Amino acid sequence: MDHLDTEIIRLLQADARRSNRDLARTLGIAPSTCLERVRSLTRRGVIRGYHAQIDTVALNRGVQAMVAVQIRPLSRTVIDAFAAFASGLPEVLSTFVMAGGDDFMLHVGVPDLDRLHAFLTDHLAKRREVTGFRTSVIFKQVHKAVPERLPD
């Protein structure tokens, strides 16, 4: 990845609906060069897709939290079953399987604190494999525009 690739990614992350011609004009390169660069980034798996950024408040998910979950016994069967369960809950935006003191991190979005409490007590506290959980409410999320490639 060079500077031009990084700039292409930055521009597409800001607005993935930009035309190739507009990208090329902004970057000061030929449209054919720009198109080949974007295709190369896609072939190499750097660009994996294009997504709409959604306003969680508009979806009635104004309260978001990260929930660290510990489960036992730690077996592939239990881990896979809990991951499938958590990912299937409508309140869960993302499910992360973790190493360390916590086994899972759930990114949760709900309308209010009462619904967050209900989610925790109705879905997590009742699960036999869940031995504990900690909840951190998210005040603000800041997205990093372009994650830079780290040196090898």
Q: Cβ(87)–Cβ(58) under 8 Å?
A: no
- Give the Cα-Cα-Cα angle 72, 109, 57 (nearest 5 degrees): 175
Q: Cβ(69)–Cβ(106) under 8 Å?
A: yes
- In the chain, what percentage of residues exceed pLDDT 70? 95
pLDDT tens digits, one per residue of 82-103: 999 999 999 999 999 999 999 9
Average pLDDT score, the chain: 93
Cα–Cα distance between 61 and 110 in angstroms, integer?
4
pLDDT at 119: 98
Considering the four listed CATH numbers 3.40.440.10, 3.30.70.920, 3.40.50.2000, 3.20.20.70, the one that applies to the domain covering 63-138 is 3.30.70.920
Q: Nearest 5°: phi and psi at 72?
A: -150, 150
- Give the Cα-Cα-Cα angle 116, 121, 126 (nearest 5 degrees): 145
pLDDT at 146: 63
Binned at pLDDT 50, 70 and 90, residue 31 comes out as very high
pLDDT at 105: 98
Considering the four listed CATH numbers 3.40.930.10, 3.40.309.10, 1.10.472.10, 1.10.10.10, the one that applies to the domain covering 3-43 is 1.10.10.10
